[in-house]
Amino acid sequence: METTKLTKSSSSIEWGKIFRSYGTVIAGVIITIIFSVLNPDSFATLDNAINISRQISFLVIIGIGATIVMSVSEFDLSIGAIASLGGVIAAKIAASGGPIWIAFLAPVLVALVVGFINGWIVTQFRVLSFITTLAMSTILGGFTFWLTGGATIFENIPDSFRLVGQKSLLGIPLLSIVMLLITILFWYVMTQTAFGRRLYAIGGNESASRIAGLRVKWNKNAAFALGAALAALTGVLMASRLGSAHPTAGNGLFLQAYAAAYLGMTSFKEGVPNIWGTFVGAAIIGILANGLTIMQVPTFMQDVITGLIVIAAVIMQKFGRGSR
């Protein structure tokens, strides 16, 4: 009898561990299978898989930026506005005939400064990052509208600026390649370098990190700067893809970026923001949006279903904890 109880307990613990560690991945696989069965000719094709990889590239890149900031237990609510500003700056430089490399680099440098300012205010004055970055988002939104007059920039955009966003290499979109390279790079930075380990240490216990001699303020500032730079890069790539830039183009990515990052916290590392987890979270959101679009589900229902998926992921994680 005791042996039977022990076996059941061990089985329960094992299932709980699986749900805690891979619940999001399992959900993603189930969603993919459902859409593949319902729409095998449209969804379950190589062309559509490549299309999804291009569609999620923006969400993955900005989500990685959000993940870096979350690793130090902070939030940056200005990433959507920074993405919009980045796209506008890049499009304006490209349309004015400036060098394309400057059109790509300048917005990232501007965002680095903006992100550092966010971090400096948060660490120097001990202001909640939620309030600071929300205010910065409002400031940047106003500045972007002033810069564009509230209009979309689309005239005189050269083909060379559209290259990264619209071209492919050996049948693979350049956007997908850039997304994968950035994911691998920041996975390495966050897991294999002293800088990444310091960020996780600060996020885990800021007081202990300070006592241990870590430069908490500097590292937090760097995290905010990197998050902002990736948001601006996302905006630039969006402008390259569309061949235009709108003053609110990046705003729609804000909530999705944090949804992807949170979904990632139920993948691979329980409750810890991590790069590959965010990649998986963004992929699930992208697969869901793609499948629902193919099924001609209205946009408002897509938002509802996406929210339900996020809630289901939370419940799955809690179920795993309760089974421990």
Query: Cα dist. 283→24, 240, 272 in Å?
Result: 11, 21, 18
Is the whole model's pTM more than 0.85, yes or no?
yes
| Residues 13-322, CATH architecture | Orthogonal Bundle (1.10)
Mean pLDDT for each consecutive 10-residue tract of the chain (324 residues)? 55 62 78 91 92 96 97 96 97 95 97 97 95 96 95 93 94 96 97 96 94 95 98 98 95 88 76 90 92 87 75 61 48
Pairing of β 172-173 and β 168-169: antiparallel
Amino acid identity, position 166: Q
As given in the structure block, the two tokens for residue 89 are: 């700056």
Conformation bin of residue 127: beta by default, left when phi > 0, alpha when psi is -120 to 50: beta
Which H/E stretch holds residue 79? helix 79-95
- Find all residues with CB under 8 Å of 257, minimum gap 6, and list them: 59, 62, 63, 65, 66, 79, 80
Which residues make beta-bridge pairs with 111?
none
Please tell me what DSSP assigns to residue 77. T
Q: What is the pLDDT of residue 6?
A: 52
Give Cα separations from 185 to 154, 178, 179, 190, 235 (angstroms).
Answer: 32, 10, 10, 9, 19
- Domains of the chain by residue range: 13-322
Residue 29 contacts by C-beta under 8 Å, 6 or more apart in sequence?
Answer: none
Contact 311, 286 (CB under 8 A): no
Q: What is the pLDDT of residue 324?
A: 45
pLDDT in the model for residue 323: 47
Which residues does 52 contact at the CB level (< 8 Å), separation at least 6? 283, 286, 287, 290
